[in-house]
Chain A
Amino acid sequence: MINKIADDVSRAMAQVRSGQCIAIGGFGRAGIPFNLIDALCDRDLTDLHVISNNAGKDDDGVARLVRERRIGKLTCTFPGHPEFFSQYLAGEVELELVPQGTLAERLRAGGAGLAAFYTPTGAETLLAEGGLPTRYADGRPAERQAAKEVRDFDGVAHVLEHALRPDVALVKAHAADRYGNVRFRLSARNFNPLCAMAARTTIVEAEQVDPGRALDPDDVHLPGAFVSSVVYGARRLDRALAHREDLR
């Protein structure tokens, strides 16, 4: 019998190792797998290569991984968080900056069995021509992003971008069943299904997990074949919303 529901989040997280590549869904506070990130922090791992749209907001989520210095390299589109930048400029963490559509498509390609693709995005910019500092040392850029291959299609320059194949994906869903089928909700979907498809191991936290009931097939946004394990995770509100909930 298939049962991907894990009662214990720490068991689901036990296979993650220091130095591995971890893709994490979420944008803003929507679709962040806060409970899985907390469980990852409990593993006391370091030198992780994290793939995430940004470096988190406030103190939890990806920002907690930054704050606890568990990230060796961040692949993202918009780091945003001041703590990340202070570590970046101090030479403590490596940055790979990617246009947002390119990050989404690199994950999609990884999950679709494709090696690479050509996109017009970023052609004739620093992100294709190379040169953005990836690592600082002694207050100066020590390593820089390499130039990417560019090819002309119908008179338009396109940049070769490689698929991402993370070791593990941490995914936030609205509902999941024991088959690993997943449904997302509104803008909490964002990068979550893409991370799930790209990774070799995908761990899902869902607000609704009913072991006795399968999702309606037409409600499944991510088929269970892409999912390794499912855990229940309560919704995490930001301080302002949590405060208001408390007053109710």
Chain B
Amino acid sequence: MTSDHTTVGLDAEALAARVAGDLQDGWYVNLGLGLPALVGAHVPADREVVLHTENGLLGIGGIASAGEEDPDLCDASKHYTTLRPGASAFDSATSFALIRSGRLDCAVLGALQVSGGGDLANWYVPGGHPGVGGAMDLAVGAQRIWVVMRHLDRDGRSKIVTACDYPLTGRAVVDRIYTDLAVFQLSEGRLTLVELAPGVDAETVASHTDAEFDTALTPTTEDHR
């Protein structure tokens, strides 16, 4: 990959909105730090999606506005957050009990790299600053792992790779990848391009993707599971 940035494709908010459009009414969903955290604000108004934060809340709303902050109310990104009707508060062991036992319908996570076989790397660049948080628990526990990320890293390299260079968070755990350029589905170890971002063609995706993939474009992506 040679280009520093892709000049086509979705910006961060549009990408977050694209992911949010696939979250279903009644789902329990955990949103990771960074780009995934933007997804919550784009959930369609006619769907009740219960957002989980691993520090012990179900039913969080958006980030608290100035003057509205409660010092006892923060999300996993350590921002002051708000609660929606039906919210609940619990300790960290209960929070991770519900993660590991499969109560989350979906976790939306960021990534350093995802392999064509669904391996996820998102916690450590060797030699740097390690920090795993709840990522490994989410990777093994949530019913679906959706990755949302830029297609290329800061050096212009594909983040969708044949095999991850970085230490794994989980092996063969990713079900779907949303990037600024495209949406990929993973099933039974196969990576399939299912959707192109507006203004992006299949050749652009191919030239920016290191992993091998099949193509089965659909006008809109439905939940296949």
Contacts and interface: CB of A to CB of B under 8 A. Distances in A.
* Interface SS of B by simple majority: loop
B162 interface: no
Contacts of A125: 136, 167-171
Contacts of B93: 104-105, 107-108, 194
Interface size grouping (class) on chain A: 35 or more
Contacts of B74: 27-30, 187
A192 B92 CA distance: 9
Contacts of B66: 244
B131 interface: yes
A235 B69 CA distance: 14
B225 interface: no
A174 interface: yes
Given A77-B134, A190-B56, A194-B93, A124 B72 contact: no
A189 B96 CA distance: 14
B73 A101 contact: no
Given A80-B131, A126-B167, A194-B92, A186 B137 contact: no
B126 to A, nearest CB: 9
A36 to B, nearest CB: 17
A179 B86 CA distance: 32
A99 B71 contact: no
A99 B132 contact: yes
Interface stretch (A3-11, A13-21, A114-122): A114-122
B78 A57 contact: yes
Nearest to B120: A125
Contacts of A244: 66-67
Interface residues of B, number: 43
B91 interface: yes
Interface in B43-102: 53-57, 66-67, 69-75, 78, 81, 83, 89-93, 95-96, 99-100
A186 B133 CA distance: 20
A206 interface: no
A79 to B, nearest CB: 6
Contacts of B124: 126, 132
A127 interface: yes
B94 to A, nearest CB: 9
Nearest to B78: A28
Interface in A175-191: 184-191
B92 A99 contact: no
Contacts of B73: 30, 186-187
B95 A104 contact: yes
Nearest to A244: B67
A192 B91 contact: yes
A10 B217 CA distance: 67
Interface of A: 27-31, 53-54, 57, 77-80, 85, 95, 97-105, 107-108, 119-127, 132, 174, 184-194, 221, 235, 237-238, 241, 244
Given A189-B90, A235-B71, 19 more contacts: A29-B78, A30-B74, A54-B131, A77-B133, A99-B133, A99-B136, A100-B137, A101-B134, A120-B140, A120-B141, A124-B171, A125-B136, A125-B167, A126-B124, A127-B132, A185-B89, A190-B56, A191-B92, A244-B66
